[in-house]
Amino acid sequence: MGRPNGPGNATWKAGVYLLAENRLLRETLSRLLQKKTEFRVVGEGAYSDAVIEQVLASQCDILLLDGVTRVHAGTDLIHELLRALPDLRVLLIGMEEEEETFVRAVRSGVAGYLLKDASAMEVVAAVRAVTQGEAVCPPRLCQALFHYIAQQAREGTVPAVQAELGLTPRQQQLVSLVAQGLTNKEIADHLHLSEQTVKNHVHRILRQVHARSRSEIVATVRNCGFSS
């Protein structure tokens, strides 16, 4: 559904904010977008401490963000912006073809992910696509997304939990049982392990996720997207 002054309106132009380190890239890409009748560039700049305020003040519809700026800013930037502007569409450009980076970006809420070998016309087409509510991703990485979801459903594990906290699928399985309130003895019976082995696992997980209790373990992994 289009907003009153949104995509449904024939004269509406999507407001684009360009956030990239390289000024030449911002200037020329901005000019290419301005040549298209459906876009207006409402702001551009490199990453700074004031970037969130600047993007919010621009009231942009689309945020074009380069890979390096995203690394500088961390995923908090995207989280914070999307919390403040839930309709904002974030398009990452100049990205590496790395499955893990891509899945993390999707989890952070981006609408599009373009590799660094994309052409200028592909960037413009991607801005148009995300404006129209579509998602943009390279086909090979789309396959990685399918794999991620299937793996999560099959194993009840979250690769991001493994990547960020270093928890193996077995440890995640154990956390899932801890979250259900099972005792070490009950977990041992469930997993056909000795109670001592379960104690050792729990002890190691406490150290790995810097938790002081079983409930802190559960809270920490849930923050990483793990739902038991």
Partner 1 sequence: MEKNIRVLVANRPRLMRELVLEAFADQPDIEIVGEVVDDAEILASVERTHPDFVVIALENPGRRPTICDTVLRQYPEMRIIAVAPNHKYSVYYWASLKIHSHDVEASEESILSTVRNKTHSAGGPS
For partner 1, the binding residues (CB under 8 A) are: 21-25, 27-29, 31-32, 46, 66-68, 93-94, 116-120, 123
Query: In degrees, to the nearest 5, what angle opens at C-alpha 223 toward C-alphas 137 and 215?
Result: 155
Residue 77, H or E segment: helix 75-84
Buried b (16+ CB within 10 A) or exposed e, 56-73: eebebbbbbbbbebbeeb
User: Which residue's CB is nearer to partner 1, number 11 or number 119?
Assistant: 119
Q: Considering the complex, what minimum distance in angstroms separates the CB of residue 69 from partner 1?
A: 8
The number of angstroms, rounded, from the C-alpha of 123 to the middle of its chain's C-alpha atoms is 19
Q: Considering the complex, what minimum distance in angstroms separates the CB of residue 115 from partner 1?
A: 8
Distance CA 66, CA 29 (A): 12
User: Which residue's CB is nearer to partner 1, number 95 or number 161?
Assistant: 95
β-sheet bridge partners, residue 18: 44, 64
Q: Considering the complex, what minimum distance in angstroms separates the CB of residue 162 from partner 1?
A: 28
Collect all residues with Cβ–Cβ distance below 8 Å to 75 and sequence separation of at least 6. 104, 108
User: Which residue's CB is nearer to partner 1, number 44 or number 61?
Assistant: 44
Residue 168, H or E segment: none
User: Which residue's CB is nearer to partner 1, number 57 or number 71?
Assistant: 71
Q: Considering the complex, what minimum distance in angstroms separates the CB of residue 42 from partner 1?
A: 20
Distance CA 227, CA 207 (A): 21
| 3-class DSSP state of 121 | helix
User: Which residue's CB is nearer to partner 1, number 33 or number 82?
Assistant: 33
Q: Considering the complex, what minimum distance in angstroms separates the CB of residue 82 from partner 1?
A: 23
User: Which residue's CB is nearer to partner 1, number 43 or number 94?
Assistant: 94
Q: Considering the complex, what minimum distance in angstroms separates the CB of residue 25 from partner 1?
A: 6
